[in-house]
Structure 1
């Protein structure tokens, strides 16, 4: 079954509502008007009878009967003669009257009621009669003071003509107006939904990868929140796609060289004529695989941080607990490297609202970066504290440091400050991204001793619980 479009649903719902409202109103109006018309017609009969009674009182019954005639008969023109004479229909043939004396003798009548007999004991009021093929509505007025009975009648078909006219007057506009109204409603709904069509066209014509927000000129107020939400979702989608593309590029860029180097070492080990040469090549291959594993971990950490920015929810994070877990994780590497590490200054508890995985990645990479750039027997120090309304994290080493003019570029991906060592240019990029998730600032400063580097991360007070 084909589903109706939004415009079709609106059109049929509006038409159904109009029918549900107008039809009962029309029926009520018709019944009310018909009742009022009948009462008006009955009132006209009664008023005509009373008027005739007054005239009879002034003229006297004897004046109504001439000696040579036992009965006065008022002639009534036929319909054709009536229309020729009056040039219109006057309904003269459908109305008539009778006058009776105290002995129930007819003294005055119209032609069309001349043969309608009077009841033996007439009573004032309305009654219905079927006479000479027609139904009649009769009003009888019994005047006991003047000893006269007056009857005024009107044919039912005359009243039916009025009823039919009412049907046409009340029903025809609805019968003709509803289809016309349906067409106009369809046009109005289509015109009213034109902003949705413009939105569809804007989405269909949008270039892949475009970050240009959708803008609709003169869009309705109700549609603007939808457009804003769409722009937000499209921006998030482009961010996600950009993360995917960037991660793919990172993987392709960073894994190509260590894989090639490892393959060369393995090929050398297989082709080496002496066991010692083969062992040396295998050791180099193993070292290359270890570096490759660490590089993959850093790439995955970057991907997790990017994803956390999109879907992660902030929660309470105790930085002291996170730092202790990171130190435990890095303890074997710190022991093998011969670096002297100290968690020198910290509060008992430093709780912020943030992303635990991001803060763990920030601390891990700061410590690893410092550890890889200090000489054998060097020193790395971590401190965490509240200071001037912010949470301050500092990692200080006594390595060669970074010249002032090159400090701005070290946060770029895959930037290596030197060709030596096993750094991959991702550590500080991860630190920067984790800091951005917490609206934190990063400063690269000289170590207090004058030699080495001090990395200072300040998380603003807005992140405090």
Structure 2
């Protein structure tokens, strides 16, 4: 079902139900008013006739005993309306021509109803000291009057409703033109088009929708750009170790002895490097993408530091070179434990890699308001201002240094995703200071 037809049905049914309920309420009120008014007419007619007769009692009192009753008659009244005047003894004094005798032959004062020859009559009897006046009318006349009034009220309503629905159909069509223009604008786009939709020709009511669409397009553009960058980075970085592994394996085919064993060692080293690079690329892709890292573990800052030290020194006794300084205050971090350990371990790995083996590095843990600061102080060669500007870029390495060049990129991505920061600055005594600031859970 189209939106236009749905709106038309919704509004049409709502109007029909609303105005139908109002019409029923008005007709019921009109029915009560008509019956009450016609009852008052019966009563007033009887009282008026009794008043007129009482003004000249001699004119009818003497003739009522000497003349034939049928000779005394009243003028013809309204159609369906009968009247009869009788004495209290029951003698008929006057009666409207063609009156239904049973309808006006009432003896009890007040209103009453009866069925005469299949027709319902309503009568009213009024008594004075010497007269009894009865007026009566057919209820069918009342029903016909109400029917005519209902037709007069319903026909214009139905015509107006049909006309309103026709006007509403074209009005809805005109009102939905901005949606049609938006549909056409989206239909003309290619899959590669991620530019925002122009808001100049859009209705003010569609602005929230257009804004939401533009926000979605921006997110899709960022996602596609991130995936393309990941693919490009992976292809660029994996080409070298794959080529080296292939070369060393070819060497093992054509050599024997120590040369073949050395080539296999080189190939194994290339596989390990390839594995590390792939792992870091996948980690970076998950951090930047819509991935849930919730592991249900409380990330305490001191525990994160100790686990990161253990992981950083897993390959050798490097953990003994890390001097850990902490205030001992508990600080629950507002990010998953696995990511906090990964970020800090990468900083420690970099520091261990660039610091001479005979020298130590320092890890300081401090609290600063609603944040926790990890400071890694190394004694390496440091970085120049130009190198500091490029060090967070993917796959950047100084010269032909070891590593994949993704460590600091991962640290920066984790910090950015959870509202933290990473700062690198040279130390006066030599080396580099890396400050990782992570938020604390309130």
Q: Distance in 1 between matches of 2:316 and 2:117?
A: 126
Contact residue 350 and residue 385 of structure 1 kept, 8 A? no
Q: Distance in 2 between matches of 1:380 and 1:457?
A: 17
Unaligned runs of 5+ in 2: none
Asked if 1:110 is matched to 2:96, the reply is yes
Asked if 1:362 is matched to 2:339, the reply is no
Contact residue 302 and residue 330 of structure 2 kept, 8 A? yes
**Aligned-partner SS, 2:394:** coil
The 5-angstrom pairing of residues 53-452 of structure 1 reads: 53-62=50-59, 71-74=71-74, 76=76, 92-101=78-87, 104-113=90-99, 116=101, 122-127=107-112, 136-143=121-128, 145=129, 147-180=130-163, 182-183=165-166, 208=191, 210=194, 212=196, 217-220=202-205, 224=208, 235-272=218-255, 274-307=256-289, 311-312=292-293, 316-335=298-317, 341-349=321-329, 351=331, 352-375=333-356, 377-386=357-366, 389=369, 391-419=372-400, 421-450=401-430
User: After the TM superposition, which of the residue ranges 8-17 and 260-269 deviates more from structure 2?
Assistant: 8-17
C-alpha RMSD of the superposition: 4.1
Q: CA deviation at 1:288?
A: 1.9
**Aligned-partner SS, 2:250:** helix
Q: Distance in 2 between matches of 1:365 and 1:134?
A: 104
Cα deviation 1:316-359 (Å, max 9, x = unaligned): 52233223223322324344xx8972224333356232243332
Contact residue 385 and residue 393 of structure 1 kept, 8 A? yes
Decide whether aligned partners of structure 1 residues 219 and 413 sit closer, same or farther in structure 2, where only a CA change above 3 A counts: same
TM-score, length basis structure 2: 0.79
Q: CA deviation at 1:302?
A: 1.4
TM-score, length basis structure 1: 0.76
Q: CA deviation at 1:72?
A: 3.3
Q: Distance in 2 between matches of 1:27 and 1:200?
A: 44
User: After the TM superposition, which of the residue ranges 124-133 and 282-291 deviates more from structure 2?
Assistant: 124-133
Contact residue 93 and residue 112 of structure 1 kept, 8 A? no
**Aligned-partner SS, 1:418:** coil
Asked if 1:26 is matched to 2:23, the reply is yes
Decide whether aligned partners of structure 1 residues 111 and 373 sit closer, same or farther in structure 2, where only a CA change above 3 A counts: same
Question: Number of paired residues?
Answer: 434
Q: CA deviation at 1:313?
A: 5.5
**Aligned-partner SS, 1:422:** coil
